[in-house]
Structure 1
Amino acid sequence: MVPESPYYLLINGKEEKAKNSLIYFRGDKDIDKRFNQLKHDVQQQMSESGTWKDLFTIKSNRKALLAAVFLRFTQHTSGFSVLITFTQFIFQKSGGNLSQELSSIIYTGVQMALNFIVVTFIMQRVGRRCCYMTSTGGNGIVLFFMATYFYLNDYTDIDVSSFNWFPVASMISYQIFASFGLNVIPTLMMSELFSVSIKSKAIVLAVLMFGAGGAVANYLFYSINTSAGFFTPFYVFAGCNIITAITTYFILPETRGKTLEDIQQALKNDKLY
């Protein structure tokens, strides 16, 4: 029902299908100038050797790889994978009135709806870097208050029973901020940062980082939870989010409204920062 991307079709020599795909995605039949530019970009990028060595020795590839690894790594240090994996456990710990199952359904539904809204209406207007900074910075604040709630509940005599809705509200707030960046930008930018010749190799490394990071984050959450208290991992994730929000300004390039060739040239000339 959805055609392949024009880039993919041009790489495989299917120019007519690439034209039709471009018309489909742009909603405009006057695409000759844009199509010729795409052909030129693909030909230029396919002329590169695209070896594993190029991924590390070419300056623009190193910058793109740094940004990709940064995005995938900070997804996990933000608490993203932990909150998904331990959703029901967190809701059980909160002792709220909603069942664990219903809370998880609400949480997942909010996540999917917000991702759609942000990608469709906001991200193209604001920019990738600003969205990611907002996402991680906002979640740093949310997780700080969430950690404080669990600390007060577990380690003080303060009665917080009237606020047992707070973890659910915090999780939903987390997803509101995550939808601005953490949920979508790492995947989106994988297709924007790398030239055609090197993209597959770079994505392999990014996916390996994502998988390893998820396993480590979940293990650390469980270990810190059992040794230092349930609230402690949330303080750690809160701190990581704040650090990520600041670091994003210096590491993550802005790619909004740029073609793949524009991005490659800008990476070479330090014009995306």
Structure 2
Amino acid sequence: MLVMFSGATTLAWPSPALVMLKSNDTSENPLGMPIQTIEVSLLVGVPFFIAIFGSLFLPKLSDLVGRKGNLQILGIAMFINILGVAFSTRIELIIIFLSIGTACFSALYTVIPVYFTEICEDHNRAKYGCVMLLFLPLGSLYTYILGTTCSFKLFTILTAVPLIPFEILCLFAPESPTYLLSKGNRADCISTVEKLRSNKSQEELAEDFNKIMLNLQAINRNVKPSFFAFSKTKEGRVGYLLSIVPMVIRSTSGVPIVTSLLAPILNEAGTNISGDTGAIIVGIVSALCSVFPCFVVEKFGRKALLIPSTLGVGSCTLILGLFFYLKHLQSPLCAHLQWLPIVCVSLFMIFYFVGLGPIPVTIPGELFLSDIRSVGVAFVMASSAIGLALIAFTYPLLAEAIGTYWCFWIFSTCSFTGVLFIYFVLPETKGKTIIEIQQILKDF
């Protein structure tokens, strides 16, 4: 949970940081001069591009050192690189350290769903996944608050602090029972299952252990795991496609831009409050509403939350685009609508955290068998990172070239198109075992 919190600070870091880096005040700006538009694109876009490699290669360590061991290694690497950002005085160094730190978090973002899928029971996989993602808006809020009260260096250092208790608590966390059994550690697997489900009887524990054994037997198909192992079966190919599309919808909804550039966007909108203050308000709203999916995702299912969530997100970006268009036309209406951007962004985050934020991340961990889960989820996250990198890099340039309003209308179009896919194509996995899900994919 804490690593998700700290990872969110990395993703939200550009929002307050860019306000400082655009300043002419050398006591506030460590670069000594305002950052240029192309440098903004590189600062926001390059980390997402490097994250592609983090998603593809670093999660493979999970099959060598275990899910828990990989989480610890990646957490330490994140900590070191965040400190590197804090003490950098050149934009090139900031981009390099931020990129490596983001790559580590991208890998963590890939490993954590696998870990949760393997330690949780079938009926509460998505619920715990949503609880995990609750820490993303909390991390963003933490970043927005620090950015308004601390210097660049102190603010950046403090974003790394949550990784310290994370590393300590990791020492006491259990290893994945699926991983333990796959390595032949039967006794350790049984012991871990007993600790994770201490409220169950011996018969129920034996049944859970047998499920793990059956899952491992189901994946023993003489397919040697590789970077493309998921493509060798129909279930793997369909699982990949059904996993990547919700992630792409999520990425193209505009959330990476709203999260990373929230303060600059609100400043551009010309609201009657500062961008940093507006970011804190939006952060509080996001943190409060992100609790909702934790309690309802297993009751209503994935699709029932994804559809209204995506529709709401698309509607908010459509209205934001209209506001920026009126501002471009210098319409007198803008003077009476200064409240609209902050309300729209707040509603955007509410709709996002109701479904489109947490649910797509839990889907890949459910659709792949454990022998290819690490690789399959890694490819899904890497493919998603490609979209994130393109959006993050091109947005500042496109906003300057064609206008902010066109960018938000593009986000809106992507969201509305995504609703059609979710409704007509995406299967429901609520309460189903991994074997039942694989049969759905096989019959797809």
TM-score above 0.5, yes or no: yes
2:276 alignment partner, one of 101, 126, 130: 101
Post-superposition offset of 1:225 = 1.3
- 8 Å contact kept, 1:66–1:251: no
1:63 alignment partner, one of 212, 217, 238: 238
Post-superposition offset of 1:226 = 1.5
Which residue is equivalent to 2:427?
253
Post-superposition offset of 1:218 = 1.8
Distance 1:220 1:63, change over 3 A: same
Structure-2 separation of matches of 1:199 and 1:188 = 12
Structure-2 separation of matches of 1:265 and 1:84 = 38
Structure-2 separation of matches of 1:52 and 1:97 = 51
Output aligned runs, 1:104-115, within 5 Å.
Answer: 104-115=279-290
Which residue is equivalent to 2:99?
none
Q: 2:176 corresponds to which letter in structure 1?
A: S
Post-superposition offset of 1:16 = 4.2
Structure-2 separation of matches of 1:29 and 1:75 = 37
Which residue is equivalent to 1:144?
318
2:332 partner SS: coil
Structure-2 separation of matches of 1:200 and 1:167 = 40
1:4 alignment partner, one of 154, 175, 196: 175
Structure-2 separation of matches of 1:25 and 1:184 = 23
Query: What is the CA RMSD across the aligned residues, in angstroms?
Result: 2.2
- 8 Å contact kept, 1:46–1:196: no
Which residue is equivalent to 2:252?
77
Distance 1:254 1:182, change over 3 A: same
Q: 2:435 corresponds to which letter in structure 1?
A: E
1:34-70 Cα deviation digits (max 9, x unpaired) = 3212211122214441344542231111110101221
Post-superposition offset of 1:27 = 5.9
Post-superposition offset of 1:79 = 0.7
Q: Does 1:222 align with 2:396?
A: yes
- 8 Å contact kept, 2:314–2:413: yes
Greater relative contact order (Cα < 8 A, sep 6+)? 1
Q: 1:201 corresponds to which letter in structure 2?
A: V
Distance 1:38 1:174, change over 3 A: same
1:197 partner SS: helix
Output aligned runs, 1:56-205, within 5 Å.
Answer: 56-115=231-290, 117-205=291-379
Identity %: 26
Q: TM-score, normalised on structure 2? A: 0.56
Kindly tell me the number of residue pairs found equivalent between the two proteins.
269
Q: 1:8 corresponds to which letter in structure 2?
A: Y
Q: TM-score, normalised on structure 1? A: 0.89
1:96-132 Cα deviation digits (max 9, x unpaired) = 23222222223233333333x1332111111112222
- 8 Å contact kept, 1:5–1:22: no
Q: For structure 2, which runs of at least 5 residues remain unmatched after alignment?
A: 1-171
Q: For structure 1, which runs of at least 5 residues remain unmatched after alignment?
A: none
Which residue is equivalent to 1:267?
441
- 8 Å contact kept, 2:311–2:416: yes
Structure-2 separation of matches of 1:19 and 1:171 = 47
Structure-2 separation of matches of 1:130 and 1:20 = 37
Structure-2 separation of matches of 1:102 and 1:17 = 50
Distance 1:234 1:181, change over 3 A: same
Structure-1 separation of matches of 2:332 and 2:355 = 35
Post-superposition offset of 1:179 = 0.8
- 8 Å contact kept, 1:195–1:260: yes
Moved over 6 A (4+): none
- 8 Å contact kept, 2:240–2:364: no
Q: 2:292 corresponds to which letter in structure 1?
A: V
Of 80-89 and 17-26, the range deviating more from structure 2:
17-26
Distance 1:127 1:228, change over 3 A: same
Which residue is equivalent to 2:134?
none
1:184-234 Cα deviation digits (max 9, x unpaired) = 122211211101111122122222212221111123322331222221111
Which residue is equivalent to 1:38?
212
